[in-house]
């Protein structure tokens, strides 16, 4: 696992955006062989999407041959609902870049057939040969996508019930009214994320410190879904000082040392 420690949110967002952009460019995607990117919603990716939009607007990056898969969606919210994740993705990214509509994949929270919706999502990923890079945030309870504590670490796209903690965390988007936060979601599984060639998780702020500690310093445990990253060949966590505040000083020093040596070309 690679752990990139940055001073603050903005630096993490820049790092993540540059990483994603670079991966797309190096892949030289085409219509026949697009770059497949998994994407999150929430507060964490906002700065990353801003950077990516700026790169597109300044002609440094194109999404013409990028295929995206959103990580999750609330059940019962349609595309036009301001808090649906589909709406979020269009508002914050898709409306501002040159991605083709047919290359955007979103879970339909209004489906009547959850099993079919989830199975189709998985088979679409397979159709593209899998996901090249899954980018995500992390919940205060260590969830990735909406894989709450207790999720199987081999889970696939499915229906999930949110914890009280997650609904409280997300109530800020619903006028601080937890009763308005849906109780169930569709989400890619931990196994779905782990199948990606690379996984990049970003965490910012002291509220994520426990989750980051559990992810990096504790064992692989389904009570912290993000800890599955320890089993990934190319897992990266980019986090700021505040999110690292519950890591041991020697852990922080070690990961910083690794990155400094990389910088020197070792
Ligand atoms: P946040 O959510 O980015 O809004 O903090 C992260 C998550 O729940 O995965």
- Predicted TM-score (pTM) of the model is 0.96
81 is catalytic: no
pLDDT value at position 92?
Answer: 98
**Which residue is catalytic, options 51, 65, 122, 143?**
143
Q: How many helices (H) and strands (E) does the chain have?
A: 8, 10
DSSP 221: B
Which neighbouring-strand residues pair with 4?
238
pLDDT value at position 262?
Answer: 80
DSSP 31: S
Which neighbouring-strand residues pair with 184?
161
At residue 10's C-alpha, the angle toward residues 220 and 93, to 5°, is 85
141 is catalytic: yes
Reduced to 3 states (helix: H, G, I; strand: E, B; else coil), residue 178 is: helix
**Which residue is catalytic, options 148, 169, 195, 240?**
148
Evaluate whether 44 touches 204 at the Cβ level (below 8 Å): yes
How far is residue 37's CA from residue 49's CA, in Å, rounded to a whole number?
A: 13
Index of the ligand 1 atom closest to the CA of residue 40? 9
Query: What CATH topology corresponds to 2-263?
Result: Rossmann fold (3.40.50)
| Closest CA relative to residue 13, chosen from 46, 36, 58, 53 | 46
Report the DSSP pairing between strands 184-187 and 72-74.
antiparallel
Task: Judge if the beta carbon of residue 44 lies within 6 A of ligand 1.
Answer: yes
How far is residue 184's CA from residue 169's CA, in Å, rounded to a whole number?
A: 15
**Which residue ranges make up each domain of the chain?**
2-263
CB atoms under 10 Å from CB of 211, counted, come to: 25
Pocket of ligand 1, candidates 44, 181, 188, 238: which has the most ligand atoms within 8 Å of its Cβ, to mutate?
Answer: 44
Long-range Cβ contact pairs of 79-84 (< 8 A, separation 24 or more): 79/106, 83/173, 83/174, 84/109
Pocket of ligand 1, candidates 138, 168, 185, 199: which has the most ligand atoms within 8 Å of its Cβ, to mutate?
Answer: 138
Reduced to 3 states (helix: H, G, I; strand: E, B; else coil), residue 24 is: helix
DSSP 185: E
Each residue's pLDDT expressed in tens, for the chain with a length of 266 residues: 999 999 999 999 999 999 999 999 999 999 999 999 999 999 999 999 999 999 999 999 999 999 999 999 999 999 899 999 999 999 999 999 999 999 999 999 999 999 999 999 999 999 999 999 999 999 999 999 999 999 999 999 999 999 999 999 999 999 999 999 999 999 999 999 999 999 999 999 999 999 999 999 999 999 999 999 999 999 999 999 999 999 999 999 999 999 998 877 66
Distance 206 CA to ligand 1 centre (A): 13
């Amino acid at each position: 696992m690679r752990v990139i420690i940055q001073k603050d949110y903005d630096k993490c967002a820049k790092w993540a955006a540059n990483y994603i952009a670079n991966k797309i460019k190096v892949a030289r995607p085409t219509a026949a062989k697009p770059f497949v990117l998994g994407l999150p919603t929430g507060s964490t990716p906002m700065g990353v999407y801003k950077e990516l939009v700026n790169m597109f607007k300044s002609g440094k990056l194109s999404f013409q041959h990028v295929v995206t898969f959103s990580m999750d969606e609330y059940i019962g919210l349609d595309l036009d609902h301001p808090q649906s994740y589909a709406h979020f993705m269009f508002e914050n990214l898709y409306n501002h870049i040159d991605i083709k509509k047919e290359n955007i994949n979103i879970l339909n929270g209004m489906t009547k057939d959850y099993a079919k919706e989830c199975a189709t999502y998985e088979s679409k990923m397979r159709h593209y040969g899998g996901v090249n890079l899954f980018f995500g945030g992390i919940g205060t309870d260590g969830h990735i996508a909406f894989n709450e504590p207790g999720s199987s670490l081999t889970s696939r796209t499915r229906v999930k019930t949110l914890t009280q903690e997650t609904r409280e965390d997300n109530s800020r988007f619903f006028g601080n009214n937890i009763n308005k936060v849906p109780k169930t979601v569709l989400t890619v599984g931990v196994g779905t994320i782990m199948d990606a060639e690379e996984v990049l998780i970003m965490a910012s702020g002291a509220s994520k410190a426990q989750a980051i500690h559990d992810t990096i310093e504790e064992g692989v445990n389904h009570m912290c879904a993000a800890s599955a990253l320890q089993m990934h060949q190319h897992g990266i966590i980019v986090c700021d000082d505040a999110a690292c505040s519950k890591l041991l000083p020697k852990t922080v020093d070690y990961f910083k040392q690794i990155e400094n040596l990389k910088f020197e070309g070792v």
